[in-house]
Structure formats: structure tokens, C-alpha cells
Chains A and B, each alone.
Chain A
């Protein structure tokens, strides 16, 4: 079982819809990362959080440490939001190589 599980694996929605991507992890973390990867493109860090909630534009990330669960929300989704969204956890301690989920492939149709 992967230490980081994401759902759904694939998500297709209409422009304007509210999007939620979920991430669960099985062991403790130093921080939980949300990343975005466009087809053929590099990986961009969206959020890094260890508690509570963060917001950037139309993106919101939340985390519940007790439940070992995080969500990424996109409000007023747009076709340019189409990408793979990846959840990753830092292991804590001095070394912080990330453990990644398999990603959620999001397609926003106009």
C-alpha cells in the first residue's frame, strides 16, 4: 500500500465547477505538498502545509493532521487548470525526500 493515496485518479468536469481532490497518508509528516504538473511540463509547487488551510487565488488546500488527510480545492475551474495534481509528503527529520501519490489527472472542459 502506497504511503500516500490520492482520489480520484481521473476527474473530468465542466468549466466553472468546484473541484476537490483528496489525499490520505499513512504515517506522520513534516509537511504535505500539493504540486501541479502540466503535460510535458515540469512540476510546480502549489502549496506546502503542516496544519490548517492555505489559499492562493482560486486554489485552497486544507489538512487535518489527526485524520491524516488533505484536500485541494479549485473554485470556478477553468480549462487552463487541466493538469495532473500530485500530493506528496515530507518524511520529517533532517532528510526530506518526498513520497508522492500517483496524481489526479484533471480535465476541465469548456
Chain B
């Protein structure tokens, strides 16, 4: 079956612009996660959805970052007034959502470059 997909694969934008990154999880997975990976670093947690609600958004760095999952499947990560420091690979993952400690399935990521 299809895995986690993310679009676009690459996004180049200018400082101050608004961007949206999309994640399509595996069908039937109720849990969805966003992570950010800067060059040479491990990923860092941003936000976790269980169904339509954000169960944990403690990793969002500031109020310029926002994510939604209105129908419990596709999620969009939104970044306002982008800054050069936002440049990173944004990773999405999904899991069944039945319990803690589940295997997570990762998408290929969106590489965001802010000029």
C-alpha cells in the first residue's frame, strides 16, 4: 500500500513569506507527527495529532508555526513570516494511534529553504 507522502518535496521561499507543507499519512493511521531536521542533526519533534486534534504541540518553536488536520487524515504545517533559521527538512510520520510506543512510518520530507 501507499506510504506517507509529503508535498512539495522541495520549497524555496524568501524571508518573510508564508509557506504550507502537506502530509498524507498512511490510510487508517490516526496518529500523525511533524518533525524538523536541520543539517547534520537528528530530527526534533514539533507536533503530534491524534485524529483531528493536536495532542501535543509542545515542540512548535513559536507562534509562527501552526498545523492543522481538519478531517483526521491529511495535515498541513503552516509557517508564517518565514526566517532563514526555518530552513530544514520537515518530516511527517504516522502510526496506528492505538497506544504509545508504536512504530512510526516516515514520509520523504519537504526540504524548505528560506533565502
9 nearest A-B residue pairs (beta carbon): A31-B101, A100-B42, A30-B101, A97-B45, A95-B56, A43-B106, A30-B100, A42-B108, A96-B100
Which residues of B are in contact with A by a Cβ distance under 8 Å? 31, 33, 35, 40-48, 50, 55-56, 59, 91, 93, 95, 100-109
How far in angstroms is the closest Cβ of chain A from B82? Answer: 23
CA distance A4 to B45 in the complex (A): 13
Which secondary structure characterizes the binding site on chain B? strand
- Decide: A93 and B41 in contact? CB cutoff 8 A: no
Give complex CA distance A48, B93 in Å: 15
Q: Is the CB of B103 within 8 A of A98?
A: no
- Size band of the A side of the interface? 20 to 34
Provide the bound-state CA to CA distance between A40 and B100, in Å. Answer: 29
Complex formed: what's the CA distance from A91 to B45 in Å?
Answer: 11
A residues whose Cβ falls under 8 Å from a Cβ of B:
4, 29-31, 33, 35, 41-45, 48, 50, 86, 88, 90-103
Q: Is the CB of A100 within 8 A of B101?
A: no
Closest-CB distance, B23 to chain A (whole angstroms): 13
Residues of A within 8 Å of B41, CB to CB, are 102-103
Chain B residues lying within 8 Å of A91, measured Cβ to Cβ, are 100
* A96-B101 in contact (CB<8A): yes
Name the CB-closest residue of B to A100. Answer: B42
Q: A86-B42, A100-B43 are in contact. Are A95 and B55 (CB under 8 A)?
A: yes
